[in-house]
Each structure stands twice: as C-alpha cells, then as structure tokens.
Structure 1
Amino acid sequence: MSEIGLGAAPLGNLYQPISEADAQATLASALAADVTYVDCAPYYGFGLCERRVGDALRGRDDVVISTKVGRVLVAAPEVVDDRERHGFRSSMPFSPIFDYSYDGVMRSWEASLQRLGLARINVLYVHDIGSITHGDAHQQRMMELTKRGGLRALEVLRSEGQIDGFGLGVNEIDVCLTLLREADLDVILLAGRYTLLEQGAMDELMPECARRGVSLVIGGPYNSGILATGTRGAHTPRFNYEHAPDDVIQKVRRLEDVCERHRVALPAAALQFALAHPQVASVIPGLCGPAQVEQTLELYRARIPDAFWNELKSQRLIRDNAPVPESKSS
C-alpha cells in the first residue's frame, strides 16, 4: 500500500453527486501520482463507487484494491432518482442489507468482483461491525460473523489465494480487540479513532496489533472534516459524521493556534501525524477531484518543524508518547 491511499467513498456520490468524468479524473490523477492503494465498498453509492473504481483500475496490476463485506445489495426498483439515501446521492437501484454470515460474505465478494469488473480483490474488510453501529442487533451480527461462518468464509478466500488478506473496516476500537481474539486478521482499517484529536487506539489496540503483526490503515484522518477545514471559516465544523460539539471545537481552535505560530497547515499535521505511528501502513482520506489529490500530496510532503510537535505535546494536545514525524529536509 502507498502511504497515502485514496478513500473512494466520495466517488459513490457521498453527500453530493459528482460526474463520471470527475470521478475518473480523480482516479487518474491519483494513479499518475503513484497513489497505489484504493479503498471502496458496496455501500458507497450502492455499487456506484465499485463500478467507477473498477473502470479506472482494469488492466493494472500495480494497485492494491480493498473493498468490504457485511452488506449485500438487493434490487430496489422503487429507486428512480438520486435523492439522498444513507448519505449517498446515488441513483443505483439497490439497497444495502446487513449479512455477515458465510453466504453473505461470499455473495458480497462475488458481487463486488462483478461490479468492479476485476478477477481479483486484494483485501476484504468486514464493514461496520460493532455495537455503536448495530445497537441491540450487535450480538446477532457478531454471531453471523463468528458462528455462522463469516470469518470462515474470509479464511477460505485467503487460503485459496482469492484475496491477499482480510480484516475489519470500522470506527470502533472495542470490536477490533474482540475480533483479534477470534481470527487471524491481516489489517484493520480504523476510521477516525487515531488522529490529532483522538489517540485512544494507543492504549490497547496498537500494542496488540504490533504483537500480532496486524497492520493499520487510518481512515477519516480529518475526523469527518474538522481537521481539514478548521473552525474559522463560514462552514459548520463536522466531527464523527455530525456537527462538532463545543469541546472538540475548542480543542481544534487550540490546535489552530499552534499551527499558526509554526506556519503549519492543520490538515498537513493531521495526515503526517497518523502516518508517523510504526503500525500504520497507509492513510486514506476521501478524495474527490484532481485538485484534492494534488493538495493532499502537497500536505503529505509539507515540512513540519520538530518545534511544532514539541509544542503540541507540551500543551497536552497530543499524547506524550505518540510517535511524531521526523523532520523533513527543506
């Protein structure tokens, strides 16, 4: 995986529609810049994201592609336009149904191959398993995964060489610790839980991943937007998919003050901080448009002085023991 990957949820028309031309231009720009990891999911646009990603990657063998299992798409003839559903403005006439069982995982994998138009997928993530997502249905979903063969299906696909590895694609830490005891995971895509604002993953998850040789991919490095936009514009700051609470806004304002003193762009610090942890293989911001791709790579390469990280630690804005990037030569 390239250290900066492409989170392809926006290509499924997340919150707003984008044209086919813009979607393909985004992917072409990323590939031209040696971004060689693309993450998608059936859920992203109800098949639209996978179709677009497959069209860009077909015929290439130098790109790592991941998609997800846990939802099966079923026909929804009532869908006739692109009004928002589950956050996506997609007119694809399908609806997502949770199914973490053996059959559900196999059906999802086979359907993803068809939508992508590819003969192989490198990594499969179990998508959105966890008590925060499922509430009272959590134990039922976990039973599908552990007792009704979902994990076994993934192990079969890996042992047969159909995939290179599997893991979890979640935004909850506790379920990662639980499933590390249930399966031989290769990688965890953790969204939003290891950022400039949150380092709770350092307590148990990252040490356990290091012990087991499990890599981490960090999604949501901007915590749903607030670490990209900051708090000083006309927009409404978003955190964890919702309007940011006051305590988060206050902490980001303190981060912005330190950034201003050291002439550091807040999103550059967010990207580079997540990548500095030795357990992290890649960071995958959601990207839409060649300009965003170019800007993200500039943030990734930006020089950040040691004094910046030292001040964040002295002000207890990040943990004292959090790894930080080494200085880059100018």
Structure 2
Amino acid sequence: MSSVITFEKRGVGQTGLEVTTLGLGGASLAGIFTGVAEEVARATINHAHEVGITYFDTAPQYGYGRSEHLMGNALRGKREGTVLSTKVGRLLKPIKDGWTSPHNWVDPLPFDQVYDYTYDGIMRSFEDSLQRLGLNAVDILYVHDIGVATHGEEENKRLWAQLAGGGYKALRELRDGGTVRAIGLGVNEWEVLMDAFALGDWDVFLLAGRYTLLEQTSLDPFMTTCLKRGASVVVGGPFNSGILVGGSTWNYAKAPEDVVKRVNAIEAVCKEFNVPLPAAALQFPLTHPAVCNVLPGPRTPEELDGILAWWRTPIPDALWTMLAEKGLLAKGTPVPGGVAG
C-alpha cells in the first residue's frame, strides 16, 4: 500500500475551498462499461483517502445511484478535510422489474433518469443526493451533461430554458446561503460553458476530455475566460477515454487514424525523455493556471497505485517545450517557462 503523498493544493475559484491537484472520479467505480465489485470500489475510495487525495466526485447518473451510495458509505466519518462534489439535472425514478433503459452501466440500481434543470428539479436532485450519500452536505454542485452533445439541438434549447429560467437561481441560492461552497457545470463540451458564463458567475467547471495532452480545443476562449472570471477547471478524462494509456478508444469510440497518428507523435517525444505517455497525460493539464485538479477514474486500488506512479514521475520542462516546438500543443498553451508558439 502506498504511503501518504504530499499533494499540491489549489484553490477552487474564489471560494476558499482547496483541493489536491489529483482527485478521484466516481463513474468507473459505479460500473461504466465494466462491472466493479462493491468491496473493490469501496477499497479504492478508502485507498485514495489514505494516500492523501482530498477531492472526490460522484453523480446520480453513475450507476443510477450506485456511485453516490458507494461514496457516502466510504467517506462517512472522514469528511473533515475532504471536498465532495455531486451533480444535478437528473432525477432518478424507480423502474419495474425486468424493464431496462439503454445505458452503459453494469448492474446499475433499479432506476431510470429523468432530465430536469428547473428550480424545483435542482432542489429535489440535491436533496435526493444527500439521502443517497447519507451525508448532510456536499461542497460542490455541478449541472450535469447539459448541452447539444447530450440532448440534441432542439431538446437542449428546452432544457437550457429550464436552467436559465430557474435552475441557475436555485444553485445561486444554495451557494449564497452557504448550503454548498461552489457551483459549476460538469460536461464534455466546452462551448456550453461559454453560454453558462452569460447566465452569471460560476466557481468551477468539470470539463472532460477537452483540455488534455492530446486536445486543447477549449484553450481559447473558454480557459482564457475562466482566468478573467476567476473560475477554476477540474479536468476529467485526462486519458481521452483510454487512447493516452495504450488503448484504442477516443471520445468513447474507436480512435480515427489522425488521432492515432497524433498520439504516436506525442509518445515519441515522451520516449526521448524516458517519460511514460500516461504520466505526461496525467500531469499536463496542471500546466494551465486555471486548472485546480485532474480527475481520473481508477477501478481498483491497484489501478490507483499505477496512477500514483505516473503522478510522481518527474517530467522535465524540456519535454513540454519540445511538444510545443513540434506543433503538438495548441498555440498559446501554457507550459513551464512560457506558452506554445
């Protein structure tokens, strides 16, 4: 078992919250694509806490309630010094025996999801999450998976009107009243976050897959706007669905040839410095000053130990410089000593 690690801590927006720069995501533990035994999932959460990770993320969608039950059971009695986030926008309703909806979860709890971003829906979602967690508070609330990629253009217009017409007000009331410490959105597309800035002020965004060693599409205007508006970014999906850890999947599908070619070029630079590609992928997002945390999703304590080994791999500044010089980082990407040209 790994010893306690002294992780760097960074602030979350302007809230006063601080998180370790490495966190633990709760989707994989709830059985997305591959089942995870409950005792293994709980052991992974406990292991993360024992080594010094203080930021944990979950959501009602993950295993249709399973992840929140796991997180609450594992962290109950250990909340001092930890930061816990969950998400709103999905309500869970019981299903009849023998009926299932299309989803990617192995052995989910017997519920289906209903999207609801209204004022009442946000408040109900928050209260339901506390009950599933068995806790009296969480620190961060994210609006989950709102955007065209999830809902399609027409349906997203209807759901966005719910958020703009009452959901954002509910989040502001929860934060401004001190019930939660920070509010934001958790999504896979950065464009919707620019729309969110037009609604008002946010503290932190959980953005999956769009600011990684492979892809910096969110760099400008999103990441630059975060710096101007005092908002932080948690980077989810740092391995781009597995392509950066030797897999063949990118963005939840088979990687196209141009992506494979780019990954091979990045890996060739890493080999010149004797740095494993996953180590560079894991540490890269933190070169940006808006990023406060990187959030991988290990399934077992052993997978977490592998991530910790990558996390502690020394990476020379010259590696980032070479990636920039070879055009493998987007122009303007912050790297130690400057930005990519």
TM-score range, shorter chain: over 0.9
Aligned residue in 2 for 1:239: 250
Shift of 1:320: 4.4
Counterpart CA distance in 1 for 2:200 and 2:111 is 31
| Contact map agreement 2:88 2:117 (CA 8 A) in 1 | yes
1:237-277 Cα shifts (integer Å, max 9, x gaps): 01111111111011111112112222111111011111111
Aligned residue in 2 for 1:216: 233
The answer to whether 1:249 aligns with 2:260 is yes
The answer to whether 1:306 aligns with 2:317 is yes
Counterpart CA distance in 1 for 2:336 and 2:77 is 36
Structure 1: which amino acid aligns with 2:305?
E
Structure 2: which amino acid aligns with 1:304?
I
Counterpart CA distance in 2 for 1:16 and 1:318 is 32
Please list, as runs of the form range in 1=range in 2, the aligned pairs for 1:218-297 lying within 5 A after superposition.
Answer: 218-229=235-246, 237-297=248-308
Aligned residue in 1 for 2:35: 17
Shift of 1:21: 1.0
Counterpart CA distance in 1 for 2:54 and 2:190 is 27
| Percentage of matched positions with identical amino acids | 46
1:116-152 Cα shifts (integer Å, max 9, x gaps): 00000100000001112111201001001001x1111
| Contact map agreement 1:84 1:90 (CA 8 A) in 2 | no
- TM-score of the aligned structures, taking structure 1 as reference length: 0.93
The answer to whether 1:55 aligns with 2:63 is no
SS at match of 2:201: coil
Aligned residues: 317
Shift of 1:288: 1.2
| Contact map agreement 2:22 2:293 (CA 8 A) in 1 | yes
Please list, as runs of the form range in 1=range in 2, the aligned pairs for 1:1-330 lying within 5 A after superposition.
Answer: 1-60=19-78, 61-79=80-98, 85-135=102-152, 136-147=154-165, 149-229=166-246, 237-324=248-335
Shift of 1:325: 5.0
Counterpart CA distance in 2 for 1:307 and 1:91 is 45
1:89-113 Cα shifts (integer Å, max 9, x gaps): 1241100111111111111100100
The 1:79/1:3 distance shift into structure 2, 3 A limit, reads farther
Counterpart CA distance in 2 for 1:18 and 1:184 is 37
| Contact map agreement 2:202 2:231 (CA 8 A) in 1 | yes
| Contact map agreement 2:101 2:112 (CA 8 A) in 1 | no
SS at match of 1:87: coil
Aligned residue in 2 for 1:234: none
| Contact map agreement 1:171 1:192 (CA 8 A) in 2 | yes
| Contact map agreement 2:240 2:251 (CA 8 A) in 1 | yes
Counterpart CA distance in 2 for 1:91 and 1:201 is 32
The 1:5/1:247 distance shift into structure 2, 3 A limit, reads same
Higher mean displacement: 302-311 or 4-13:
302-311
Shift of 1:323: 2.0
The 1:91/1:197 distance shift into structure 2, 3 A limit, reads closer
Shift of 1:306: 2.5
Higher mean displacement: 290-299 or 4-13:
290-299
Counterpart CA distance in 1 for 2:53 and 2:299 is 14
Shift of 1:324: 2.7
Structure 2: which amino acid aligns with 1:47?
G
Counterpart CA distance in 1 for 2:328 and 2:237 is 19
Shift of 1:84: 8.8
SS at match of 1:121: coil
Counterpart CA distance in 1 for 2:108 and 2:317 is 48
RMSD between aligned residues: 1.5
1:147-198 Cα shifts (integer Å, max 9, x gaps): 1x11111111112211001100011111101111102101001110001111
User: Where does structure 1 lack aligned partners over 5 or more consecutive residues?
Assistant: 231-236
Counterpart CA distance in 1 for 2:111 and 2:332 is 46
Counterpart CA distance in 1 for 2:240 and 2:67 is 21
Aligned residue in 2 for 1:233: none
| Contact map agreement 1:79 1:94 (CA 8 A) in 2 | no
The 1:228/1:84 distance shift into structure 2, 3 A limit, reads farther
The 1:311/1:84 distance shift into structure 2, 3 A limit, reads farther
